Amino acid sequence: MTWLALGGLAVLAVLPAVLGPYALSVFINILFYAYLGQAWNIVGGYAGQLSVGHAAFVGIGGYTAAVLAAETGLTPWVGMLAGGALAAVLGGVIGYLGFRFGLRGFYFVLLTVAFAEVCRIVASNWERVGGAVGLYITFTGDPRQMQFQDDRAWYYIALALTALATAIVWGMERRRFGIYLTAIREDETACEALGVPTFRHKLGAMVLSSFLTGLAGTFYAYRYSSLQPGAVFGIPLSVEIVIRPIVGGAGTLLGPIVGSFILTPLAELSRAWFGQGGWHGAHLIVYGVLLVAVVLFLPQGAVPVLGRLVRRAAP
């Protein structure tokens, strides 16, 4: 398994040499959403705490780094960490309120959505961060300001982030923390009866997940040179984050990556084939139908199904 992972990483590392501009952009999106899905997977997949407000952490991370760069001149490479830390604080607040008061299932979903919506409204009405118009970043092409002339730099940053998040989850799986999270997901009441500190572990998962997601906000801000409250705090982004690991296999190491490799090209192809006609939104309908088909035929995610096929084929 380790050699297979290293081989896949090596292939991805040399891939930009043979990709055209459009294909390179698609692969950047694949890796970016794979990273976001892996960050969500910690709390949503392993701990079983369904958050549909992770866009809040993307927005917090992006706005923090951009505002610090504009007002203090702090490089986004450092501002990224500050944004991740602030996102972790918000994640800690959400986790504390949700887990301390025993919110589970749809109630925890509503809590996370509510916080994301509060963040969107605050950003939309706060002129210091651009208000409803959004925050725009002047492009300089200076790598020290996380701006690049060549998109291959964004590809390698996205690849590094995905590899980092995957390595963290891989290490987590092999430690007591990850084992406890999986047990909590399967039967939280039984874990509490056995003396497992469920509140502490769920909160830790939420904080770690929020921090990693916050780092992605800086990537988003400087790749697109802008931040709009409706885009970075909105429900659509949260849903895009969640569906990757669900389709790939929530609570599995490779689920978010496989899910992103399935869904991101699917979205691009449906947009390219059906989004150019006179019927606006046709590509979204096609994408939705294809997504429903994937969920119906792969209800546990792609990775568990692929694992069973590999085991059956093995001599």
CA distance readout (Å), 287 to 51, 95, 243, 303: 23, 33, 13, 21
What token pair was written down for 304?
């568990």
Q: What is the pLDDT of residues 173-223, one digit of tens each?
A: 999 999 999 999 999 999 999 999 999 999 999 999 999 999 999 999 999
**pLDDT band at 242; cut points 50, 70, 90:** very high
Residue 235 has pLDDT above 80, yes or no: yes
Rounded average pLDDT over 111-129: 95
Beta bridge partners of 135: 227
Mean pLDDT (the chain) is 91
Q: What is the pLDDT of residues 129-151, one digit of tens each?
A: 999 999 999 998 899 999 999 99
The answer to whether 207 and 88 are in contact (CB under 8 A) is yes
Angle between helices 21-41 and 151-173 (to 10 degrees): 30
Question: Which one is predicted more confidently, 147 or 8?
Answer: 147
> For the chain, how big is the Rg over CA atoms in Å?
19
Q: What is the pLDDT of residues 46-100, one digit of tens each?
A: 999 999 999 999 999 999 999 999 999 999 999 999 999 999 999 999 999 999 9
In this prediction, what percent of the chain has a pLDDT beyond 90? Answer: 74
**pLDDT band at 298; cut points 50, 70, 90:** confident
Kindly report the backbone phi and psi dihedral angles of residue 135, in degrees, each rounded to the nearest multiple of 5, phi listed first. Answer: -115, 125
Domain ranges of the chain: 2-234
Question: Which one is predicted more confidently, 63 or 279?
Answer: 63
Say what the pLDDT of residue 271 is: 75
Say what the pLDDT of residue 283 is: 60
Neighbours of 127 (CB within 10 A): 8
Say what the pLDDT of residue 282 is: 63
CA atoms within 13 A on the CB side of 306: 11
Question: Which one is predicted more confidently, 87 or 297?
Answer: 87
Rounded average pLDDT over 242-250: 92
